[in-house]
Structure 1
Amino acid sequence: MLSRARTRTSLVAAAAALALTAGLAVTGAHASGSGAGSRPSGPAWTAAWAASPQRASTGFKANWSEDGFSGQTLRQVVRVTEGGDRARIRLSNAYGTSPLHIAGATIARTKKGAAVEEGSVRRLTFEGRRSVEIPAHGQLSSDEAGLELKPFESVTVTLHLARTTGPATFHAQSFATSYRADGEHVGDTGAGAFDESTESWYFLSGVDVAGGGVAAGKKARRGGGVVLFGDSTTDGFASSTDLNRRWSDALAERLAKAGAPRPVLNAGIGGNLVLNDSAWYGERGTARFGRDALDLPGVGTVVVLEGLNDIGFSESDTPTYKPAPKVSAEELIAGHRKLIRAAKAKGVRVVGATLLPLGGSDHYGERAAEVSDAFNSWVRNSGEYDAYVDFDRALADPADGERLAPRFDSGDHLHPNDAGYRAMAEAVDLEAL
């Protein structure tokens, strides 16, 4: 159950933490988000879907990031958790080493697989132009497109990548199918040309909506969007592909069912750490927090669940993060305090979460167990977060509190299954959000 914690009386400036995402150069398009780069006379945007960018790398499943794209069309399907009558996309070349040329782009309502609904295809423009170049390390948002979307509707974003992109900024583990075709097919409604697939998202970092829901004036009453920030558990590892069974999906559905709908955005990266960067698992949480969570349009609350990899990689035999530092509870807590300060400096409510049980997993060991227990005690008792959710107790095996309950275990004793992700959403006190 999510417990209310006492609020702190002083706010600490976090300009340094947030500066990492400030000042990105954009050529031929306006910056995404609700800050200085947005058009002052434009609509009030709210993020309806998001994915955290990563540098090109290998992964647990084959992906196209290291090779990139050349003379191809990329089609990606995502599900929004907020509706509206206008939409735009956000694109990221955050880890590109050369400009990224987008020759054309469309957005449409999804039909099935790579097929889209006839009559719903909208050509996207960037400052009025159909093509755009995103500089290395840049990001941008498209112009608005008139497309009516309902909450929990799937949308398809199609990009024509006519030139060689080089390694692609991407999100490694999507648990959703993306498609690729040779040549130019942005306007296709059928799926015939898209004969290759992968389970990653490329260049696409967000879909925003306006003209409905939060963007229509309910934001103040409902508290804005909710961002879930964390590692593979937040990302949805081991959830069912193409079925939207992450805990972010379950929480958005629960809020809607309770009559308090709010967009829920997923800012998880599999393997991510609070304190250290990784070639596979993204920039450390304290470095990406502003870009991936606080700066999303319309955000009011962030839920932070992260730290198991910081303490567990040193116990694991996996070769993907070696040598792994041995992180103390004090060091992990110090990292979380940076996140808390950054959120409060932005006026965003910040909710902490206890780490899930890890007994029997490759992250488990005597030292990891001790650090996890100490960290969880701090989350519950310090009052430094505005509130907290106790996933440790909600998903623990009644017969052995060190382990996930068998009915919630995906099989690796570390990640929940679909039922476990639903249980995480049920553990949240919606009023405290």
Structure 2
Amino acid sequence: MLFTKTIAALTLALTAVPAQAATAQPRWTGAWAAAVQQPSPGGLPWSSNWAEQGFERQSVRQMLRVTGSGAALRITISNRYGTAPLTVNGATIAKAAAGAAVRPGTLRAVTFSRRADAVVKAGQELVSDPIPLPVQALDRLAVTLYFRGKTGPATFHDVSSATSYRASGDYRFDPRGTAFTDTTQSWYYLSGVDVLGGPARGAVVTFGDSVTDGTGSTPDADNRYPDQLAERLVASGTRLTVLNSGISGNRVLYDHPLFGERALARFQRDVLDKPGVRTVIVMEGINDITYRDPDVTAEQLIAGHRELIRRAHARGIRVVGGTIMPFKGNPWLYPDGTAEPYGLEQIRDQVNTWIRTSGEYDAVADFERALVSPDDPDRLRPEFNVRDGQEGDWLHPNDAGLNAMAEAIDLSTL
């Protein structure tokens, strides 16, 4: 009864407020996040998603894993890139089972200002009421959104490395999942899940590009490096959650229609505004170096990193610098297989030397040294480049490489 009264009181206090205002409540801690992007066809050649077409009379069930425990949850719906108000005609959350199925006894209705439906203004986010579903760190959840009318193009996260499901009609409360016959590997409108009253002392945000995002990790296995870092924290009893704010293809200095706003533009919402953030791990710059539109110097990249450090420190947030990993052998950057014609590795080396030696970061996670080949300082270890017996792209580590990244982080620095 006391728990029910507490949830009711919190519902009255926290409903229908913008995400930034709601995060001022000290007992809420971010337990999962997705950095949202403008609608696009997707940035990977094999990708397909529903962002440009949006939804109508459809339910979308999305799978995720929380990194913290709590007595209750809340979700954040983002219409950041919408050009018109978004109407959500109902939502549920449950503990996930196999495929699109959920555990029936865990299904909970999600409300907004104690209403099943919600309208999210264009360019804004909306936080749900508290949801009385106790969770443990590393629980897998399913969030189902129903859209009766046309949404228009959808704010989304392109590379989720997790299967999302779609059904025609309202199947929010369907535990079996058999109606969800369409699949994709992107997330839609969902940008955060927070936990209430758990043991976590704060959140660690992993901020970066495709390697942080999890491109190349095994789908639906939660093997991105932030996932494996969360597992280390849970196993060690360290009371921190992990939020993944990576976007595949992202750059520090320049926006891209497929790969998100530049790190300098999105740092506020994807790091500083997250509830309970205590530390951020920054690993960005590889795409500024390799895109070459325009050419970027090491000095420009370092200046961008310094700005991120300054803004985090101004909020009392600790900043860990992640070194940029090698890419020798990547077929796009090494067209003849042996030589990289643009001098890009030298820029990477200069930025990494600054990250390691300048003392401007509070600590360093030396991802490059954790993954580099002992025989070639510009190439990944071969065992970190193989997927399903096939050679990878020499840029995105496999699950074992992503685990090596998580292991390279000194937990005491967080």
TM-score, normalized by the shorter chain, greater than 0.5: yes
How far 1:202 moved relative to its partner? 0.1
1:129-169 CA distance string (max 9 Å, x none): 11110011010110001001111010110101111010000
Say whether 1:292 aligns with 2:270.
yes
**Which of 251, 254, 269 is the equivalent residue of 2:232?**
254
Say whether 1:346 aligns with 2:312.
no
Would you say the 8 A contact 1:107–1:124 is kept in 2? yes
Counterpart in 1 of 2:11?
none
Would you say the 8 A contact 2:72–2:197 is kept in 1? yes
Would you say the 8 A contact 2:371–2:381 is kept in 1? yes
Q: Which amino acid aligns with 1:367?
A: G
- Map 1:314-353 → 2, pairs under 5 A: 314=292, 324-353=293-322
Taking the aligned partners of 1:157 and 1:256, their CA distance within structure 2 comes to: 23
Counterpart in 2 of 1:163?
149
How far 1:258 moved relative to its partner? 1.9
How far 1:62 moved relative to its partner? 0.6
Counterpart in 2 of 1:237?
215
Say whether 1:414 aligns with 2:395.
yes
1:79-128 CA distance string (max 9 Å, x none): 00101110110110000111100000111111111111111111111111
- Map 1:34-433 → 2, pairs under 5 A: 36-38=21-23, 44-59=27-42, 60=44, 61-214=47-200, 219=201, 224-314=202-292, 324-361=293-330, 362-363=332-333, 365=340, 366-410=342-386, 411-433=392-414
Taking the aligned partners of 1:245 and 1:389, their CA distance within structure 2 comes to: 18
Q: Which amino acid aligns with 2:84?
A: S
Taking the aligned partners of 2:366 and 2:91, their CA distance within structure 1 comes to: 42
Percent identity, aligned pairs only, is: 51
Would you say the 8 A contact 1:75–1:179 is kept in 2? yes
How far 1:211 moved relative to its partner? 2.1
Indicate the larger mover: 122-131 or 274-283: 122-131
Taking the aligned partners of 1:261 and 1:38, their CA distance within structure 2 comes to: 19
Q: TM-score, normalised by structure 1?
A: 0.87
Which structure 1 segments of 5+ residues have no match?
A: 1-27, 315-323
Indicate the larger mover: 361-370 or 387-396: 361-370
Q: TM-score, normalised by structure 2?
A: 0.91
Would you say the 8 A contact 2:23–2:274 is kept in 1? no
Q: Which amino acid aligns with 2:396?
A: H
1:305-331 CA distance string (max 9 Å, x none): 0000000112xxxxxxxxx11000000
Counterpart in 2 of 1:32?
19
CA 1:232/1:58 → structure 2, altered by over 3 Å: closer, same or farther? same
Counterpart in 1 of 2:5?
none
Taking the aligned partners of 1:99 and 1:416, their CA distance within structure 2 comes to: 39
Taking the aligned partners of 1:75 and 1:300, their CA distance within structure 2 comes to: 30
Would you say the 8 A contact 1:231–1:306 is kept in 2? yes
1:244-273 CA distance string (max 9 Å, x none): 000001111111222214211100000000
Which structure 2 segments of 5+ residues have no match?
A: 1-14, 335-339, 387-391
Indicate the larger mover: 268-277 or 56-65: 56-65
Counterpart in 2 of 1:20?
none
Taking the aligned partners of 2:101 and 2:167, their CA distance within structure 1 comes to: 13
SS at match of 1:249: helix
Would you say the 8 A contact 2:23–2:273 is kept in 1? no
Q: Which amino acid aligns with 2:17?
A: H
Q: Which amino acid aligns with 2:411?
A: L
How far 1:337 moved relative to its partner? 0.9
- Alignment: residue pair count: 385
Larger RCO of the pair (alpha carbons < 8 Å, separation 6+): 1
Taking the aligned partners of 1:47 and 1:329, their CA distance within structure 2 comes to: 33
SS at match of 1:147: coil
